[in-house]
Structure 1
């Protein structure tokens, strides 16, 4: 079953008019960015949902989180899908989904301060390199 047609109703119903950085948001924009503006939250997830014929291309220009205390995890699809790994540091990090969905999870150990990050995303059509 293609992931684009398997989005649970509860996930679709949670789509709101909130800003793109709000935790738990399903983002249906064709391009944009995500940052951790709500630094009070220890756990945040964002699900990026493109048109059925597109894939999600995600880029993290620079990541410098407190390794061992916080990380960003990128999933190919929903949270139940395969993980690209837990990231806390790096530069020029790029991922391409295998479907029209990608999920980003930010996790921080309670009591530790939050480090800023910025993630860019856009829809990539089949056959396009960029």
Structure 2
């Protein structure tokens, strides 16, 4: 939910606060690898590279595109990103359903998202701020 009157400084402070909860080495590696992949991908679709962009027409065109190992690898990355986003969304939904609609946990949400199988609702309630 976006609050009215929210400023760019509020957003920056929120992002910095969340980032400060991450393990510094993990965060550094994650940002470095993400930026390398993003920049490489942007270069790959830029006008500096000679290639012809061909639209994928329908399901058969998609199946034909899957013959390309680079397409399969890129699709695998997208699926992993979607899986990770889904886990985070499920964790956020669970924490909101247990409280008053906000996330007031003492640990980063990524911990919940990727360790959910080992946690139950009582564990999550114990992680709330002020407990």
Give the TM-score range, shorter chain. under 0.3
- Structure number with larger C-alpha Rg: 2
Larger proportion of helix: 2
What TM-score do you get using the length of structure 2 for normalisation? Answer: 0.22
What TM-score do you get using the length of structure 1 for normalisation? Answer: 0.22
